[in-house]
Amino acid sequence: RKEVEQDPGPFNVPEGATVAFNCTYSNSASQSFFWYRQDCRKEPKLLMSVYSSGNEDGRFTAQLNRASQYISLLIRDSKLSDSATYLCVVNWRDTGRRALTFGSGTRLQVQP
């Protein structure tokens, strides 16, 4: 089983739609959680950290459910520029490892 699992998509949605991505992680000792965005043939860029209380940044809302080991990202009012791959990322606590573990990513295509 992969440490971080995501639905690969692609999610094809019209402009203005609301879309939600989900992610599950296997290690309950995970400490930090993030969503990164990666455009085609570019490097990943931090979109937002994910906190237990949930957090919002403009049109983006992230939620964390530690009991279910589940992370989500909600994008409202999708724009063409939101088309990208969204990577779910966790950092483990138990080994003291300070390296990020990535899911394989979910591809989003927003259509006009």
Partner 1 sequence: DAGVTQSPTHLIKTRGQQVTLRCSPKSGHDTVSWYQQALGQGPQFIFQYYEEEERQRGNFPDRFSGHQFPNYSSELNVNALLLGDSALYLCASSSLSGGALDTQYFGPGTRLTVL
Judged by the rule CB under 8 A, the positions of this chain that interact with partner 1 are 4, 31-32, 34, 41-46, 49, 87, 91, 97-105
Q: Which is nearer to partner 1, 32 or 76 (CB)?
A: 32
User: What phi and psi values does residue 7 have, to the nearest 5 degrees?
Assistant: -75, 120
Nearest distance in Å: CB 84, partner 1: 13
Residue number, 88 or 110, with CB nearest to partner 1? 88
Q: Is-contact 73 103, C-beta < 8 A?
A: no
- Cα 37 to Cα 67, 81, 105, distances in angstroms: 25, 11, 9
Which of 13/100 has CB closer to partner 1?
100
Q: Strand pairing partners for 46? A: 36
Shortest Cβ 111–partner 1 spacing (Å): 22
